[in-house]
Amino acid sequence: MKRTLLLISVLSLFAGLMIAQDDAAYVTAMKTVAASANGRMSPLRMAITNKDVAAAAAEGSKVAAGFEPIIAYWKAKNADDAVKLATTARDAAKTIADAKDADAQAAAAMQLNMTCGQCHMAHRAPGDAPGQFKIK
């Protein structure tokens, strides 16, 4: 009986640590994507605004790669809507990376931003302090 309780306790602790690591990796991936793609002064937004196709393509590649751990996170959570939204955002970033003209990149950037917003509305809640968020 004691061994069973000890085993359950150890497994529960280990599972909790694994979930915390997954959440930390997810938060890191989101911050990496946001640093490149979000905000008026982000490298991607600046490249799109300046119609710098080469710079936008490079940033689009970074953003697309940044979505891979995000997609994996939501797959592990069995959140099909979040997987679909993250995949759509990744594909928009890939379009930015592959596009040969500024107008196509700008359209894909708009899709990227709208998709990010949809996922944030569905899976993000206010945190304990201003500017902090919790994962729903």
Q: pTM score, two decimals?
A: 0.80
What sign results for the dihedral spanned by CA atoms 87, 93, 96, 98? Answer: negative
Q: Rounded to whole angstroms, how far apart are CA atoms 4 and 128?
A: 37
* φ, ψ of residue 114 in degrees (nearest 5): -65, -40
pLDDT, position 87: 97
CA angle 92, 73, 60 (to 5 degrees): 25
Tokens 């944030």 -> residue:
120
CA distance 83 to 123: 11
pLDDT at 3: 52
| 131 phi and psi angles, rounded to 5 deg | 80, 0
* CA 90/CA 111 separation, integer angstroms: 10
DSSP codes, 34-99? HHHHSSTT-HHHHHHHTT-HHHHHHHHHHHHHHHHHHHHHHHHTT-HHHHHHHHHHHHHHHHHHH-
pLDDT tens string for the chain (136 positions)? 555 444 344 334 334 434 445 788 888 999 889 888 887 789 999 999 999 999 999 999 999 999 999 999 999 999 999 999 999 999 999 999 999 999 999 999 999 999 989 998 999 888 888 878 888 8
